[in-house]
Structure 1
Amino acid sequence: MSFGDPNNPYGQQPAQPGYGQQPAQPGYGQQPAQPGYGYPQAPAYGEPAGYAAPPMEMPSGAKAGRIFVWVIIALQLFFAIYAFTQMGAVEDAVNQTGATGTEAELASDIGKGIVVVFAVFALVFAALGLVIALKWASGGSAVRTCAIVWASFAIVGGLFQMPIGIGTMVFAILLIVFAAKGDTAAWFKRPRH
């Protein structure tokens, strides 16, 4: 607190200019008042206390990105269910090769194991997407960055999930495009209250 601070209730108040006189200009040794320094400013009329500006609304690019995250999650869940239903098809394919005995069982077990690994991977990937989708509205730049990285992995993972993977790859590319847009980036960098 400085001695001549006009907001200081205990300090000496500066002299006010009389009628018709010009207020004193800051000269040598005096500094003009700096906004934001010292006591907090009172909110303007009609402005709620504690907010500098009304909260920014989510732009359409960010809304579209959030929809794409949910679509990719749905596709991952659909692929996991599809993969688990194909366990019997793996055993049928091994039986059609004419293999018998332990070699048929081994081939069947390896095929089923690969299907289970892909299905579990899709479920884990959907769970990670769920975290991103739930944090989308309130998260910062880290959520946007995670969404872009997650979508990049979705493109690679879509190669192993054909034919469902085509949809995953398309929506992942769209997610990267919309998450990288300037208005979406600005929205994720907005001040939070």
Structure 2
Amino acid sequence: MSFGDPNNPYGPPQGQQPTAAPGYGHPQPPGVPPQGYGYPQQPAYPGYPGGNAIAQTMPGLVTTARVLLYIVAAAQILIGIFALLGAATLNDASNASEDTFGSNGFADLGHDGAGIIFVVALLFLGLAALSITLGVKFSKGGQGIRITTMVYGLLGALFGVLILINSANIGSSAGLVWALMWIGFGGVMAAAMIVSSGAAWFNRPRY
């Protein structure tokens, strides 16, 4: 029994020809891929042809900011350690003064100064921990790390401007170098977070 038989009850109605399913011999419109068997088409993965190509390599300016964070952290650790040593030395000298001359104003002043220096040392060590944490989080961090680094860089640059003004008033060349370093480092870190490549890096999807 064939479909060409006009008396075939299972054939198509008279005057109609059976049509083939799309994809079986019929050309598809240009640019339209053949449809599967009821399965949805899978989206392309980022970076593959047809997908949204997203850079998986850290931009150069962001990498530079990361390196500067580590350099700043090293400097902050050194300052913190030397400050701790200075506080301990000043405290020992104040104790020796009390042992020799009894309680006096110079010994009290020395203790107060040692306490202030100790607090400054803890501050620099805490900032060093923050710098290292931000640098480590650059690989997987999101907008929170970006914004924190941007604010951190701006505050560092502002700190450098204050040092620059003070150094200009007292004529200190060492302070001038220190100020320019803080301004440069802070400016680069903030700029790396503001530019579009930096924003895109911290806003990229994680897989």
After TM superposition, the score normalised by the length of structure 2 is 0.60
Alpha-carbon distance between aligned partners in 1 of 2:81 and 2:53, rounded to the nearest angstrom: 47
Question: Structure with the greater relative contact order (CA < 8 A, sep ≥ 6): 1 or 2?
Answer: 1
Report the counterpart of residue 173 of structure 1 in structure 2.
Answer: 187
Amino acid in the other structure paired with 1:149: V
Bigger Rg over Cα: 2
**What stretches of structure 1 of length at least 5 have no aligned partner?**
1-13, 24-37
C-alpha distance in 2 between matches for 1:20 and 1:81: 79
Aligned counterparts of 1:118 and 1:112: Cα–Cα separation in 2: 10
Q: Which amino acid in 2 is paired with 1:109?
A: H
What do the CA deviations read for 1:112-153 (whole angstroms, capped 9, x no partner)? Answer: 111011110001111112211111111112111111122233
Give the whole-Å Cα distance in 2 for the aligned partners of 1:174 and 1:116.
30
Mapping of 1:9-88 within 5 angstroms? 16=21, 39=40, 41=42, 53=53, 56-87=56-87, 88=89
Matches within 5 A, 1:20-169: 39=40, 41=42, 53=53, 56-87=56-87, 88=89, 91=93, 101-155=103-157, 163=175, 166=179, 167-169=181-183
Higher mean C-alpha displacement, 166-175 vs 104-113? 166-175
Question: Aligned residues: percent identity?
Answer: 24
In the aligned structure 1, how far is the partner of 2:59 from the partner of 2:27?
Answer: 51
- Which letter does structure 1 place at the counterpart of 2:204? R
AA of the residue aligned to 1:134? V
Q: For structure 2, list consecutive stretches of 5 or more residues without a partner in the other structure.
A: 1-18, 30-38, 164-173
Q: Distance in 1 between matches of 2:183 and 2:26?
A: 74
- Name the CA shift for 1:41/1:21 in 2 (closer, same or farther; >3 Å): closer
The DSSP-based 3-state class of the residue aligned with 2:198 is helix
- Could you tell me the TM-score, scaled by structure 1's length? 0.64
1:190 aligns with 2:204: yes
RMSD, aligned CA: 3.8
Distance in 2 between residues matched to 1:22 and 1:179, nearest whole Å:
47
